[in-house]
């Protein structure tokens, strides 16, 4: 035990990201639930107070122009872009992840069906009446995909991510996949799966909720068509902070949103009864932006200034490696089983442990100052946010887990 405590201290002393911890509101609790809700950046409360008291309270309606409210969805999208490997002008912030999944999947099907009719897709759209969805997906993604299938006259087929290449065919219009499995922390192979989808003439839609802000994504590099993600996990945007939608630049003229709103109109203040979509990423907007939470998110994203995502990934892997090592050293054999892949290429930024009476165990961990979460029926989840989690936290969490399990 003393050896691991000493190693944790050495690793923390050598950690180039350790100084970022001071930018968050933290206490003596080991917080390993940033994969559900990120910690509060210290810059946010004062920014929100300014938005409420000065921008809303004093400037009022003038803030749409003078405070930049109107352009916030694209401006903040450009701040997120480097964290997911995208050039500016391809991400718009707003709505929830669920709403953006719906926009993306329906738009992908519409583009696929339009290919062969003058579109720029990879193959003929004739007969493309199938949507593949990650069989292990977060439930809402599955619900949305099913609704999108009904709306577009498609058949929905749940498929395990590793089986997608063999499941693709001439009927496939769109494929909805999670970059990281929310239960196990397994990282799926975005480059090869995207390539397989494209070779089949279909469109790839990726859910980045459990990867953005924890590891490199490479949306532009790997030719991803459409992607969505939340901002309240590793991006620390706050509870219910708005999600984002990525539309690859060359697809933007063909992106046909199923939710056209006045904010995505080419002339939003013209109040025309006929819809004409805006150019570029703004055509992914719908209604009036949720300014309070959006500007809180903008303040939260300032902690990323000058932070390379590759360095974050390196620390994430080091943290999860060390946690698994400490668990193996402290927890009696047979009490827990790791569901998270040991291979770095297959691991996100969380560790999932199967354990009997996991719900009760997590409640006791939380009471002892180690906060993770529980997923039915028997999974303990621990999320590692490299911006504020240290190696001492990791060692302490494993030690408390061992004591809790007795």
Active-site residue set: 138, 207, 232-233, 381
Cα distance between residue 313 and residue 323, in whole Å: 15
Handedness of CA 27, 80, 307, 34 (dihedral sign): positive
User: Where is 47: in which H helix or E strand?
Assistant: helix 44-50
Q: Which H or E run contains 322? A: helix 309-330
Q: What is the DSSP string of 339-397?
A: -S-SSGGGB-SEEEEEETTHHHHHHHHHHTTEE-EEETTTEEEEE--TTT--HHHHHHH
Rounded CA separation 161/406 (Å): 37
**Sequence-distant (≥ 6) Cβ neighbours of residue 50 within 8 angstroms:** none
In angstroms, the CA 386 to CA 384 distance is 6
Angle, in degrees to the nearest 10, between helices 139-152 and 97-114: 40
What is the rounded radius of gyration, in angstroms, for the C-alpha atoms of the chain?
A: 22
Structure tokens belonging to residue 159: 């498929």
Quote the CA–CA distance of 403 and 382 in Å, as a whole number: 17
How far apart CA 240 and CA 263 sit, in angstroms, is 21
What is the C-alpha to C-alpha distance for residues 122 and 116, in angstroms, rounded to an integer?
Answer: 9
Residue with tokens 């810059």: 43
């Amino acid at each position: 035990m003393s050896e691991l405590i000493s190693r944790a201290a050495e690793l923390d002393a050598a950690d180039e990201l350790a100084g970022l911890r001071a930018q968050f509101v933290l206490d003596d609790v080991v917080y390993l639930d940033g994969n559900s809700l990120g910690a509060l950046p210290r810059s946010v409360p004062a920014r929100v107070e300014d938005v409420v008291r000065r921008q809303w309270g004093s400037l009022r309606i003038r803030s749409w122009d003078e405070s930049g409210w109107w352009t916030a969805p694209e401006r903040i999208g450009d701040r997120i872009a480097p964290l997911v490997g995208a050039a500016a002008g391809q991400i718009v912030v707003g709505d929830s992840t669920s709403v953006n999944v719906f926009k993306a999947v329906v738009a992908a099907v519409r583009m696929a069906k339009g290919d062969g009719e003058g579109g720029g897709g990879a193959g003929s759209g004739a007969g493309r009446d199938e949507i593949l969805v990650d069989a292990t997906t977060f439930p809402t993604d599955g619900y949305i995909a099913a609704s999108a299938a009904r709306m577009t006259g498609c058949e929905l087929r749940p498929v395990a991510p590793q089986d997608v290449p063999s499941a693709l065919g001439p009927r496939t219009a769109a494929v909805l996949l999670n970059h990281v499995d929310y239960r196990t922390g397994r990282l799926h192979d975005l480059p090869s799966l995207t390539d397989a989808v494209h070779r089949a003439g279909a469109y790839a839609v990726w859910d980045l909720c459990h990867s953005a802000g924890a590891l490199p994504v490479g949306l532009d590099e790997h030719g991803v068509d459409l992607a969505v993600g939340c901002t309240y996990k590793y991006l620390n945007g706050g509870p219910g902070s708005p999600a984002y939608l990525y539309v690859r630049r060359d697809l933007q003229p063909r992106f046909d949103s199923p939710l056209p709103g006045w904010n995505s109109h080419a002339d939003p203040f013209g109040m025309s009864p006929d819809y004409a979509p805006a150019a570029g990423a703004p055509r992914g907007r719908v209604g009036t932006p949720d300014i309070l939470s959006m500007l809180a998110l903008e303040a939260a994203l300032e902690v990323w200034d000058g932070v390379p995502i590759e360095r974050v990934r390196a620390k994430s892997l080091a943290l999860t490696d060390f946690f698994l090592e400490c668990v193996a050293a402290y927890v009696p054999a047979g009490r827990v089983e790791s569901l998270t892949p040991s291979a770095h290429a297959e691991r996100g930024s969380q560790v999932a442990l199967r354990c009997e009476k996991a719900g009760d165990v997590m409640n006791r961990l939380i009471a002892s100052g180690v906060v993770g979460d529980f997923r039915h029926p028997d999974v303990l989840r621990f999320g590692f946010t490299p911006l504020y989690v240290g190696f001492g936290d990791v060692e302490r969490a494993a030690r408390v887990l061992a004591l809790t399990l007795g």
